Amino acid sequence: MSTRDVTVIDYGIGNLLNVVRALQHNGASVTVVDRAGQVNHLPERLVLPGVGAFADGMSELRERGFDDLVRRFADTGRPFLGICVGAQMLFDVGEEFGEHAGLGLIAGRVRPVAAQGVTGKRHCIPHIGWSRLERPPACETWGNSILARMPAGEPVYFVHSFAPEPAREADRLADTYYDGVRICAAVRRDQIYGCQFHPERSAEFGLGVLSAFLEL
Radius of gyration of the chain (CA): 16
On the question of a cis peptide bond just before residue 151, with omega within 30 degrees of 0, the verdict is: no
Question: Mean pLDDT throughout 75-88?
Answer: 97
pLDDT at 5 over 60: yes
Share of the chain above pLDDT 90, in %: 94
Whether pTM exceeds 0.75: yes
Among 7-21, 120-134, 163-177, the minimum mean pLDDT is found in 7-21
CA pair distance 170, 7, nearest whole angstrom: 27
Mean pLDDT of 18-45: 95
Span 158-166, mean pLDDT?
A: 97
Of 60, 84, 154, 160, which is the active-site residue? Answer: 84
**Catalytic residue check, 84:** yes
Has residue 1 got a pLDDT over 50? no
Specify the CATH superfamily of domain 5-214: Class I glutamine amidotransferase (GATase) domain (3.40.50.880)
What is residue 52's predicted lDDT score, i.e. its pLDDT?
Answer: 86
Instruction: Please name which of 148, 158, 1, 139 lies closest in space to residue 88, comparing C-alpha atoms.
Output: 158
Region of residue 53 (phi > 0: left; psi between -120 and 50: alpha; otherwise: beta): beta
Average pLDDT, the chain: 95
Query: Rounded CA gap, 18 and 202, in Å?
Result: 11
pLDDT-derived band at 15 (thresholds 50, 70, 90) equals: confident
Task: Quote the pLDDT of residue 150.
Answer: 94
For residues 150 and 195, the answer to whether their CB atoms sit within 8 Å is no
Mean pLDDT within 65-74: 96
The answer to whether residue 200 is catalytic is yes
Contacts of 77 (CB under 8 A, 6+ apart): 190, 191
Residue among 60, 96, 154, 200 flagged as catalytic: 200
How many other C-beta atoms are found inside a 10 Å radius of the C-beta of residue 149?
16
